[in-house]
Amino acid sequence: MSMLTPASEVILRHAEEFTESHVLLAGDIQDLIAAQLTAKSVYASTTQYHQWQAMHPQLGDNSAFELTVNAEAAARCDTLIYFWPKSKQEALFQLTQIFSCLPVGSHVFIVGENRSGVRSAEKMTEAFVSLHKVDSARRCGLYYGELTAAAQFTLTDWLKEYQVGDANIATLPGVFSQDNFDNGSALLTNALTRPLSGKLLDIACGSGVIATVLAKRNPDLVLTLSDVSAAALAASRETLTRNQLEGEVIASNVYSDLSGKYDWIVSNPPFHDGLNTSYNAAQQLITGAKARLNRGGKICIVANAFLPYPALLDSTFGQHQVLAQTGKFKVYIATNA
């Protein structure tokens, strides 16, 4: 997060706008723009744990990893700079919550890459702020307006659910596969038909669907679920509760905040960070798994067939097997011998 994104570069073109402001930064913050802004105060709120890890050393208590922006912190601000995410529903969820606690009359700046769908900002927020475009550069759009009305926000109104067999899965906007059981995760859980026991770690757990489906079939599993997304962690906790399952749900950037060893590591790992393709999380997941598995423990992941994970599995474990595949996905398994 050392280099600035195009969206942050556009914000700095307007740096003089913020020198006398109390700024709230929120949304898809992917760099250290907060440390480069000159303002009376800056509070950076992120729903992504790895982004908070990068910001916290410089910002301290002026940065937070949280699902919803701290209402007291927002009330002290008079300017919002919001970085548009790739999910419109996630943007609407976050902005509605922010507009419920940001003072009416506050300045609102929304910035994002054109390919992210930021052009939707004007229509989506018109009930609360009248936005107009004030800059277009670096393939980004910057929109500005003043908050004219407070929003009403209740977290439970945004929870959705779907069924996988007898499992009830809770989801929130921005969580991977929020509307249904994605084909890749379904392939993985259907491939693991053998009885499972011991400690299971679900990394990049999303809504907790993989761990939940496996635990419903194998009630002796001891569950740990982790993700970098605050929305995913909240959804996973709710999913476990709805299915009367116990388990730890931990914010962790792959293995950064995890300890102990496991008998199973399962994952449908992401290969995007925001809008950008990134294999970093999956590479860390595979190469770090050997040190996190008990002897005889197994890692089982599902991935798009074109992704370069077989070589990583072989270099880490000496071998791997393809447990199941379709035209699009493959399920890989390897053992810590």
Question: CB of 59 within 8 A of CB of 34?
Answer: yes
Give the separation between CA 112 and CA 35, rounded to whole angstroms. Answer: 19
Question: CB of 326 within 8 A of CB of 312?
Answer: no
The domain total for the chain is: 2
- Structure letter (DSSP) for residue 197: -
Give the separation between CA 139 and CA 129, rounded to whole angstroms. Answer: 23
Same domain, 272 and 168: yes
Question: Domain for residue 134, yes or no?
Answer: yes
Give the separation between CA 106 and CA 129, rounded to whole angstroms. Answer: 10
Beta bridge partners of 160: 171
Token pair recorded at residue 313: 């599995």
Same domain, 164 and 151: no
Please compute the mean of the pLDDT values over residues 131-141 and round it to a whole number. 97
Same domain, 180 and 143: no
Among residues 134, 155, 176, which one ends one of the domains? Answer: 155
Question: CB of 245 within 8 A of CB of 189?
Answer: no
Question: Domain for residue 222, yes or no?
Answer: yes
In percent, the amount of the chain with pLDDT more than 90 equals 92
Among residues 155, 179, 197, which one ends one of the domains? Answer: 155
Bridge-based pairing of strands 247-251 and 262-267 is unpaired
Give the separation between CA 185 and CA 302, rounded to whole angstroms. Answer: 7
Among residues 155, 177, 207, which one ends one of the domains? Answer: 155
Same domain, 329 and 183: yes
CATH no. for residue 251? 3.40.50.150
Same domain, 192 and 317: yes
Same domain, 37 and 149: yes
Same domain, 106 and 205: no
As a dihedral over the C-alpha atoms of residue 265, residue 182, residue 233, residue 243, rounded to 10 degrees, the angle is -90
Q: At what angle do helices 183-191 and 209-217 cross, to 10 degrees?
A: 30
Residue 84 has pLDDT above 50, yes or no: yes
pTM of the model: 0.95
Please compute the mean of the pLDDT values over residues 244-256 and round it to a whole number. 97
Same domain, 224 and 149: no
Same domain, 106 and 219: no
Q: What's the chain's average pLDDT?
A: 95
Which of the four pLDDT bands, split at 50, 70 and 90, describes residue 274?
low
Chain centroid to CA 300: 21
Question: Domain for residue 111, yes or no?
Answer: yes
Give the separation between CA 138 and CA 135, rounded to whole angstroms. Answer: 10
Q: How far is CA 332 from CA 23, 49, 266, 268, in A?
A: 46, 27, 10, 11
Question: Domain for residue 1, yes or no?
Answer: no
pLDDT in tens, 28-83: 999 999 999 999 999 999 999 999 999 999 999 999 999 999 999 999 999 999 99
pLDDT at 1: 46
pLDDT at 276: 61
Q: Which domain holds residue 133?
A: 6-155
Residue 272 has pLDDT above 70, yes or no: no
Same domain, 228 and 201: yes
Question: Domain for residue 190, yes or no?
Answer: yes
pLDDT at 257: 97
